Structure 1
Amino acid sequence: MSRTTATDDLGRSVPEVPAPRRWTVATTEGFTVTGHLLAWADDDPTATGVPPGQLAVQLADISHRAYFDGELLHVIAPGREPQEGVLWGVLVCDPYAEDPAPRVPVVNIAVVDDYWINHLDPAGLAEVAARLRAQADRLDHDVRPRLVAARADWAARHGA
């Protein structure tokens, strides 16, 4: 399989790209539509025997997806069941979407439950990652020391 190396918009190496694959949708009357099947896509939308009147619907439903795991944190919201996963998401490309944003590969991140950050391009994903890093640094270098001091003060005053 032929592979090429790529870099992102910040000049960093990204995983190798395998040789192209194709998907095909064929109607019962012999008309076919083919397209690029992204190497990372979990599913192949190839279909045969599609009634001609359903071809547009079949194409609109094509969605190349690759899910990625998030962090397992126990999150509680009033009036809702506790949630376990945060910041999971999907690399997605919907080539026939009405909205032009997901017609090229983008990342959608589920913050928690049904709260999403959608249609992130490489720069947008880098911005989210930088903000999460900054928040993690703030928690680690600012909030945690204040929590340690507050607990020590509490223990000293309450005999714990």
Structure 2
Amino acid sequence: MTFPATTSAPRRWEIVATDGRAVSGRLPSWAQEDPSRTDVDPERLQIVVADVVHEASFGGYWARVCPAGVDPGQDSVILAAHLQLSPHADDAQAREPAVHVHLAQDVWIKDLSPDAVTNLAETLHDFADLLTGRVAPGLAAARAEWTNGPRTAPPIPNAARPGPSSRKRPRRLHQEPEAVTWAREKAGLTKRALAQSVGISEQLMNEVESGWRSATPANLAKIARALNCPVVVLERTHETHAHGRTTA
């Protein structure tokens, strides 16, 4: 994440409903994505606005992890820090920039050799350096910018997401991300509310809806129950492969 070296015109986001109503806000300089949308169902406008999350991510490391120690596990990202701000959240604390650290909850890293243990120790050391050298200064600068408005901020070194190579979306997803979003908005739930109902983190819910994480069959079933819809509505009916083609 890098803050601009010079002051520029403030960025804005805007969400527009089909009846012409619009809601807009300031887009922080560190936000990695623009949440702007058009053609939103007027009945869902409030939900869509409440779900606006500004985010920047630091670090993240690939590891073979096994939920509940069950083989064979899958490659997943561990030890990632996420700078987030939800300007329209009900929770006042979420309306101020804060950092969430993803530690890969409820998973094991198994069958480590002596060299693998050393590599893991080096990874944890690197993550500690990341927190003190990049995440903490980035959070301080983000809060200052949010409180005082756009201004010149000290540059923060770029952080790979995840390192050392760029993050790739899962080759296979159990869920259809757009279907999950559609069903949630139809049910009148924010991502935060749905995550709390299902018993998962809001960060995981974000990644399920954006396609960055495949929902486990158990979690997808919980999501379907919370949304009062058949799980088949949320399931992906085709697979997308690395070469870009899809198969039914």
- Using the size of structure 1 for normalisation, the TM-score is 0.53
Counterparts of residues 50-129 of structure 1 (less than 5 Å)? 50-71=40-61, 78-79=69-70, 81=73, 85-113=77-105
Contact 2:18 2:42 in 1 (8 A): yes
Q: Output the CA distance in 1 between the equivalents of 2:29 and 2:52.
A: 15
Q: Could you give the per-residue CA deviations for residues 129-149 of structure 1, whole angstroms, max 9, x where no partner exists?
A: 57xxxxxxxxxxxxxxxxxxx
RMSD (Å) for aligned C-alpha atoms: 3.1
Contact 1:83 1:112 in 2 (8 A): no
Contact 2:17 2:42 in 1 (8 A): yes
Distance 1:72 1:31, change over 3 A: closer
Give secondary structure in 1 for the equivalent of 2:103.
strand
1:27 maps to what in 2? Answer: 17
Runs (5+) with no aligned partner, structure 2: 108-130, 133-248
Give secondary structure in 2 for the equivalent of 1:62.
coil
Tell me by how many angstroms 1:112 deviates: 2.5
Give secondary structure in 2 for the equivalent of 1:92.
strand
Tell me by how many angstroms 1:66 deviates: 1.2
Distance 1:51 1:84, change over 3 A: closer
What amino acid does structure 1 have at the position aligned with 2:37? A
Give secondary structure in 2 for the equivalent of 1:42.
coil
- Kindly indicate whether residue 26 of structure 2 is the aligned counterpart of residue 36 of structure 1: yes
Tell me by how many angstroms 1:85 deviates: 4.2
2:116 maps to what in 1? Answer: none
Larger Rg, first or second structure (1 or 2) = 1
Q: Output the CA distance in 2 between the equivalents of 1:73 and 1:32.
A: 43
Q: Output the CA distance in 1 between the equivalents of 2:31 and 2:99.
A: 13
Distance 1:85 1:44, change over 3 A: closer
Contact 1:83 1:113 in 2 (8 A): no
Distance 1:48 1:31, change over 3 A: same
Tell me by how many angstroms 1:57 deviates: 0.9
- Using the size of structure 2 for normalisation, the TM-score is 0.36
| Identical residues among aligned pairs (%) | 33
Tell me by how many angstroms 1:79 deviates: 3.8
Q: Could you give the per-residue CA deviations for residues 7-50 of structure 1, whole angstroms, max 9, x where no partner exists?
A: xxxxxxx9557531001111112111110011111211111122
Structure that is richer in helix per residue: 2
Tell me by how many angstroms 1:104 deviates: 1.4
What is the number of equivalent residue pairs in this alignment?
106
Distance 1:32 1:75, change over 3 A: closer
Runs (5+) with no aligned partner, structure 1: 1-13, 116-128, 131-160
Q: Could you give the per-residue CA deviations for residues 87-133 of structure 1, whole angstroms, max 9, x where no partner exists?
A: 21211111112222221111111123469xxxxxxxxxxxxx57xxx
Q: Output the CA distance in 2 between the equivalents of 1:88 and 1:74.
A: 15
Q: Output the CA distance in 1 between the equivalents of 2:76 and 2:39.
A: 41
Counterparts of residues 110-149 of structure 1 (less than 5 Å)? 110-113=102-105
